[in-house]
Every structure is written in structure tokens, then in C-alpha cells.
A and B are shown apart, each in its own frame.
Chain A
Amino acid sequence: MAKRDPIYGLMAEFDSAQALVDAAKKTHESGYKKIDAYSPFPIEGLAEEIGMHFDEIPLTVLIGGIIGGCTGYLMQYWMAAVDYPLNIGGKPPHSWPAFIVITFEMTILFAGISAVLGMLAFNGLPMPYHPVFNVPRFALASKDRFFLIVFSSDKRYNPVETRRFLETLDPRSISEVPS
């Protein structure tokens, strides 16, 4: 394993959502690939600007829902028709119309849980510590400031060149992020 870089990346601070989107676009276009942007609320299209092209959540939810539906139906079938068949009002043991409600509820339950767990897992959360928190001004990222970071692991990263590039984006401030 290579020695860990003492610098995690270079972070630029912006005043508005518009400035962040423009800066992210320019940074990505000029060849920096390992970058990230931080904002106090979701900004439409920002993730695409920094090179995110695939969202895993819909597929996760679909799979969760299918598993939930199958679990719900098969559970009822096995319990009511195989393991413990009971004659209730002359209905057949495998009385599928009566099983629809619970199948539906289990589909929703599993799909909903996989949506939340999937979001957390693919985002790598919970992660109480992260190097970006070392920048004191980053506390404003949950209030009214917008941040762009170029990670030091990027191939084109160079402490001097990258800083000079970020300065052309007209940020409010630039800080080094210690790792």
C-alpha cells in the first residue's frame, strides 16, 4: 500500500449554488475526475456535472420489492397450504385472493427498507469521521455555503497547479484538506 498522502485534497468555497455548478462543470471538463461537490440542499444535475452517471438505488429497490413480494406470498402459501392446512369456511388451503394484501404489504416493506439501506450503503454511511470535516469552514456546508474539492488521488492533481486552476474559478476561499 502506497504511503498515504498527508493532504486529502484542495477545497474551494463558493457563495451560491449557481457558482458551484459552474465551477464543478469547468473542473470536470478540464480533466479532473476525482472531485466532489458539497451543498446544503440537493441541486439538480450537480452529480452529473462531477461525473456520476449511474444511480444504484432504483435497481436496489426493485430487487428488494421482488424479494419482499415473493417472501410474503410464499410464506403464506407454505404456512397455510403446506405446513398447517386448516379448513376455514370451506376455502381451499391455497386461497390466493386472500393472500394478496399481505403480499402487497411485504413488497412495500422490503422495497422501502432496501431503499433506505441501499442509500446508506452506496453512500458509505454511517461515516462519522471524514477528512473534509477538518476544514473549519466546512461547517457552513450544512448552512449556506457550497464547496468543491479536488482529491489528491486524482491523476492530474498537483498542489500548485490545481490551486492555480481553482483560483480561476473565482471562489471565496481555498483551503487544503488534511487527511
Chain B
Amino acid sequence: MSEQYKSSTELERAPVIEPGHTFGTVTEKISAIVLTRPATNGWFIGFGIAFMMTMMLLFALGYLFLKGTGIWGVTIPIGWGFAIVNFVWWIGIGHAGTLISAILLLLRQTWRNSINRFAEAMTLFAVAAAGVFPAVHVGRPWLAYWLFPYPNTMRVWPQFRSPLMWDVFAVSTYATISALFWFTGLIPDFATLRDRSEKRWIKMVYGMLSFGWRGSARHWHRYETMYLLLAGLATPLVLSVHTVVSFDFAVGIVPGWHTTIFPPYFVAGAIYSGFAMVLMLAIPIRKIYGLEDFITERHLQNSAKVMLATGLIVAYGYGIEAFMGWYGGDPYDAFTLWNRLHGPYAFWYWSLLSCNIFIPQVLWIRKLRTNPIALFFVSLVVLVGMWLERFIIVVVSLHRDFLNSSWGMYYPTRWDYMTYFGTIGMFLAAMFLFLRFLPAISIFEMRTLLPEAEVKE
């Protein structure tokens, strides 16, 4: 780290770690959350609610397998309803985790070290929640495995010219690489938990999970190389995933979908909603677990700035969409624009513009960027807005396309809502378990941030 970089940051910004911490205090503070802190009533109530919502998801999915997709509100012309809206929303949220852990690592943004672990966990659980939807929306969900190229008695293979197949590969690769990144990041911390825990069986569990990590210099060297390469691989991967998701739309000819702005604007929107979710999780976690020393004002500010920047890219995307609808000369595109602004879903389009563009502009104010409660609510607004964006893209584009004899409206049923809120419950339940059993902040990466970690040749 150069002196110049240090002086410019130290003067005006809050520190990444509050001063006064040592290797010992960082280790004790983070591992104590897992090892010695008793589970509180709040945790049990929170987990209990999330768990019940997960059960509701299983119930909704069970009924779906029994009856078929007719229980949902999807009909022709709107064949892609909540399932695809939620899929794109969740997979977008997942993007912030990889952005924080991989791209910010390559850019040497060391402040990421205190939030990358739970952001990665968030990615993993968001991708899991996203993965529910494409599997069940295929019409005959019990045959979803046909998407994979496996040798079968029908002697047919999947159709690789379709973006839906690209999606299968992109999302499953993304899930695998995120899981690997997260787990390998945990290995040295598992060793710390193994050495700190008192009970023998807990020692055994963490010992096995740590693979017998002992912190040898040779091991660290290979580990660091691996971590850096994995970050280098995950960076183009994360950009490709939402690009491929946007191809699902952009390759189709439906007005409102068939546009080249989709890949960059989907990726920016994904990071936008992902950082909103990171903030919505970080703000309560740092308060409840007393981690304000590690997740400081600096982290909140930086996340807010990323949101502001990506939000403006998203605004640019909306602007170009509207401009092309007006200037492009295609009557169907022009109608799509008119329909968004004045059609039966106009209220939701204006809500989307307020949630994603107008309200988040308050983040220009420094006081609000450093106010956790304000940030929490702005993040909530952004998450709602990003969900509405996908709703507008999927439903409003489909409900009035080329022939007005085939126009229709979309009415989601209770099963749509149960599935959607069920995945939120599943996501939260997994987060509750993660906070209880795994170190929510990367301990070994926090140690490297301390001044005593610096070594002169």
C-alpha cells in the first residue's frame, strides 16, 4: 500500500477497522459469535419465522408438483410470470457478493475484507433461491433435469442454440464457483474455530471442515495464488451470468425485450440490488452482534456510493430504452413505451422510476450515507424497485405485443405469492444458520488489515 493512498484515505474517511485491535482481539471477537455467544430469543424467533416461511415454500412447491403450473397466474400471453421475475431478481442480488469478493479483491479495495464473507454467503443463498424458479417454471417441473446434457434412452440432446441452455450452464457454473470461493475462504477460519473451541466434538467438526489446515507458509502461498486466480475467474463469470440472463430476453423478438442495452444494464441493476441487500443485512448484523468496529461507517458509505453509481447506470438504461422507443421508428417499440407510461400497469412503471431513480438520489447527501437507518430504508426501496423492474420487463412487455387480439392481463395467485415469500424465508433461514455456525467476517483477512501484519524485507 503506497503512502499516498494511505494519507488520502486516513485524513478524510472513517477507518476500515477501529483502532486498538490486535490479532488476538479480532480473532476472539469474531469467533466468540459462533463459539461462546448463547443463542438469543431474538435469534430463535427470527429463525423460526424464516423457517415457517421455508415450509410455506415447500408446501407451495408440493402443491405445484401435484397440480402443475395451472395453479399460478401464468396464462398466454403472459407465460412468464412471477417465476422469471423472482429468478432474475434473486440472481441479481447474488451478484454483489462476487463483486465484493472477487472484483474488489483484484482492485485491492481492502475494505472489502470485513464484508466479503457474509456477502458471499448472501450470494450463495440468493442463487439457491433463484435456482428454485427456473426448475419449477418449465411447465412439467418433474422433468426439469432434461435441461442437462446427460445420456438418455430417448437418444436426444439439449438444444445449445437457445439462451435458455446458456442460462443453465451460466447459473450452475456461477453457483459452483461461488460455493468453492466461499468454502475455500472459510478453510483458515475453520482452523481458527477448531483451535478455539472447547468441546471435543465441536473441535472434530471444525477440524474436519478445515481439512487440517495448519497455516504453513507453503500452504499459504498456494492458497493465495488459488484465491487470486479464483477471483480472476469469477470476475468475468459474474459479468457473464447476468448478461446471459438478459439474453433470455434480448434474443427474443418481443418489443421491450429485443434490445442491445440489456446486458450492461442488467449487470448494473444486479450490482445495484445486490449492494442494497448487502446493506440491508449488514446494518442489523453489525448492530446486533456489536461489529461496528469491523463494519464501520466507511463500509456503509462505500456501499452507498456503489449503489448511487450503479443506480445511475440503470437510469441511463431506462433513458436509452425510452429514447429508442421514441426515436427508433418501430411502432411496436413506440407502443411499448406508451403502454409503460400510460397503460394498465402505468402505476407500477412510475413506482419503479421512483424507487430506482428518484428516491435513491438522496444518497448524494453525505449525512444520509452515514445514517444506518436511512440507508436501510433506501436499500429496501431499491430492492422493491429492482423487483418492479423485472416485473415491468417480463409482464408489461408480454401482456400487449404485436396483435391486440392476443392481449391480456396478469393476475398472480396466492401460490405465486407463497412461492415468492417462501424463497425470502429460505434465504433468511439460511442466513440465520450461517450467522450462528460460521464466522460471519473473514478472520484471517481481517488480521492482514492490522498494522502489525506489515513485514519489511
Task: Identify the A interface with B (CB < 8 A).
Answer: 16-18, 21, 24, 36-47, 49-50, 52, 55-58, 61, 72, 75-76, 79-80, 83-84, 86, 88-89, 91, 95, 98-99, 101-102, 104-106, 108-109, 111-113, 115-116, 118-120, 122-123, 125-130, 132-133, 138-144
Contact = CB atoms under 8 A, between A and B. Distances in A.
Given A38-B214, A143-B192, A144-B27, A57 B447 contact: no
B371 interface: no
Contacts of A56: 222
Nearest to A44: B455
Secondary structure class of chain A's binding surface, majority of residues: helix
B221 A52 contact: yes
A79 B226 CA distance: 33
Contacts of B452: 16-17
B215 to A, nearest CB: 5
B453 A102 contact: no
B106 to A, nearest CB: 15
Contact of A115 (B207, B217, B230, B444): B230
Contacts of B115: none
Interface of B: 22-24, 27, 149, 155-161, 165-166, 169-170, 173, 176-177, 180-181, 184, 188, 191-192, 194-196, 207-208, 211-226, 229-230, 233-234, 236-237, 240, 244, 247, 444-445, 447-448, 452-457
B240 A104 contact: yes
Contact of A129 (B195, B212, B244): B212
Contact of A141 (B214, B223, B448): B214
Nearest to A146: B215
Contacts, number: 206
B211 A21 contact: no
Q: Is the interface of B mostly helix, strand, loop or mixed?
A: helix
Contact of A84 (B156, B161, B234): B156
A112 B144 CA distance: 26
Contacts of A101: 166, 169-170, 240, 244, 247
B217 A46 contact: yes
Given A139-B195, A143-B27, 19 more contacts: A17-B452, A38-B214, A40-B444, A42-B221, A44-B455, A46-B455, A55-B221, A61-B229, A101-B240, A109-B177, A112-B177, A113-B180, A116-B184, A126-B211, A128-B207, A141-B195, A142-B188, A143-B23, A144-B22
B226 A116 contact: yes
A128 B187 CA distance: 12
Contact of A105 (B24, B173, B191, B230): B173
B156 A105 contact: no
A43 B225 contact: no
Nearest to B211: A126
Nearest to A116: B180
A105 B217 contact: no
A112 B24 contact: no
B286 to A, nearest CB: 22
B457 A125 contact: no
A79 B157 contact: yes
Nearest to A126: B211
A129 B207 CA distance: 9
Given A120-B211, A130-B214, A108 B177 contact: yes
A36 B233 contact: no
B170 A115 contact: no
B234 A142 contact: no
Given A37-B217, A144-B23, A112 B176 contact: yes
A24 B456 CA distance: 13
B184 A98 contact: no
B214 A108 contact: no
A106 B455 contact: no
Contacts of B233: 61, 108, 111-112, 115
B215 A40 contact: yes
Contact of A55 (B155, B212, B222): B222
Nearest to A78: B157
Q: Which 8 A-B pairs have the closest CB atoms?
A: A144-B23, A47-B221, A126-B211, A79-B157, A119-B226, A139-B195, A127-B212, A42-B220
Nearest to B457: A45
A55 B27 CA distance: 29
B214 A43 contact: no
Contacts of B22: 144
Contacts of A49: 217
Given A95-B161, A108-B177, A46 B220 contact: yes
A144 B25 CA distance: 9
A122 to B, nearest CB: 6
Contacts of B230: 112, 115-116
A141 B173 CA distance: 35
A113 B226 CA distance: 10
Contact of B220 (A47, A57, A75): A47
16 contacts: A17-B453, A37-B217, A39-B215, A40-B188, A40-B192, A45-B455, A46-B220, A55-B225, A79-B158, A102-B165, A106-B173, A112-B233, A115-B226, A116-B226, A123-B223, A126-B208
Among B169, B215, B237, the one with the most A-chain Cβ atoms within 10 Å of its Cβ is B215
A80 B157 contact: yes
